[in-house]
Amino acid sequence: MEQQMTYGSDYKFIPATSVKSGESVEVVPGIVCHTIQIVNICLIGDPNTGDFVLVDAGMPGSAEDIISVSEKYFGAGSRPKAIILTHGHFDHVGAVIELVKHWLVPVYAHELELPHLTGQEPYPKPDATVEGGMVAKMSPLFPREPINLGGNVEKLPPGGEVPHLPDFRWIHTPGHSPGHISLFRDKDRLLLAGDAFVTVKQDSFYKVVTQKEELNGPPRYLTTDWEAAKNSVAALEKLKPAVTITGHGRPISGTELSGGLAVLVQEFERVAVPDYGKYVDEEK
């Protein structure tokens, strides 16, 4: 099975970084958010038993970093029960093949994301013309060819249950990608939002570098369906999350989160949707 796994032919290290790169924070007990260059991964588990699940798989070339942060929190030689992907963009699957080979664990993703994870379908071209800054202009460099996890990736169970995380449910939050999911834990209203919305304005390279906090819609240059993206943010806002970890930017909580989400929903067109760009113009 291992031999079947390949990255796309355009897979490569992307030279991008932020001030938070390499930092880990235990956001609530048992939930670790670790920043790799400009993207976050989450470890969800119990340091006492060493059982954990990894959510997302970082940037290209980050496998050693992910293994070492896993061992730091869950013990030497520890390995997760599974890897759950919020979606299959290059910055969320960058180390997944090395990790599957190292840990021999299954990967789960939404059914609609599987064509991008089994070598069948590339993602649409990033929109370098979208209103925005340096990151959008860099986006043609981003890998978009599908990776192929072969038989190592499975679709998430249809009922919303999350393998090995009985307290969580997954919620389909498309728009940024067709099979994008978020993870929610009802007991403390913890939300892992992936790229459904982010807490840094990605269009400005400056803000990615400094990770200045700002509740924003999904990263613009890769988002293809703005209507679905808006509905997804509205659905997440209805959950009234108390703490949120997003794919990019810092974890946020409390009124900063509730107020920011309310504004994002009410003024989605102004705040999140770019004024111009091919995925905007195509839909109008």
Q: Which residues bind Zn ion (CB under 5 A)?
A: 89, 91, 195, 247
Residue 98 or 195 having the CB closest to Zn ion? 195
Can you read off the two tokens belonging to residue 195? Answer: 């790229």
Beta carbon of residue 246, minimum distance to Zn ion (angstroms, whole number) = 9
Q: Which is nearer to Zn ion, 174 or 241 (CB)?
A: 174
Identify which of residues 80 and 247 has a Cβ nearer to Zn ion in the complex: 247
Put the strands of the sheet holding 165-172 in their side by side order.
161-162, 165-172, 181-185, 190-194, 243-246, 252-253
Rank residues 195 and 225 by Cβ distance to Zn ion and give the closer one: 195
**Residue whose CB is nearest to Zn ion in the complex, by number:** 89
CB 182 within 8 A of CB 170: yes
Complex with Zn ion: residue 36 or 164, whichever CB lies closer: 36
Strands 24-28 and 252-253, bridge-based pairing? unpaired
Distance CA 188, CA 181 (A): 19
Return the HEC string of 219-232.
Answer: CHHHCCCHHHHHHH
Identify which of residues 123 and 268 has a Cβ nearer to Zn ion in the complex. Answer: 123
Name which of 89 and 185 has its Cβ closer to Zn ion: 89
Least Å distance between CB 40 and Zn ion?
9
State the minimum distance, in angstroms, from the CB of residue 223 to Zn ion.
8
Question: Distance (Å, rounded) from C-alpha 24 to C-alpha 22?
Answer: 7
The most distant pair of C-alpha atoms in the chain lies apart, rounded to whole Å, by 53
Contact 124, 143 (CB under 8 A): no
Please report how close the Cβ of residue 255 comes to Zn ion at its closest, in angstroms. Answer: 26
Provide, rounded to whole angstroms, the least separation between the CB of residue 198 and Zn ion. Answer: 8
In a 10 Å sphere around its CB, with 0-12 CB exposed, 13-18 middle and 19+ buried, how is residue 281 labelled?
exposed
In the complex, minimum distance from the CB of residue 178 to Zn ion, in angstroms, rounded to a whole number: 12
Minimum Å gap between C-beta 56 and Zn ion is 8
Q: How far apart are CA 41 and CA 272, in angstroms?
A: 23
A 10 A CB-CB count for 10 gives 12
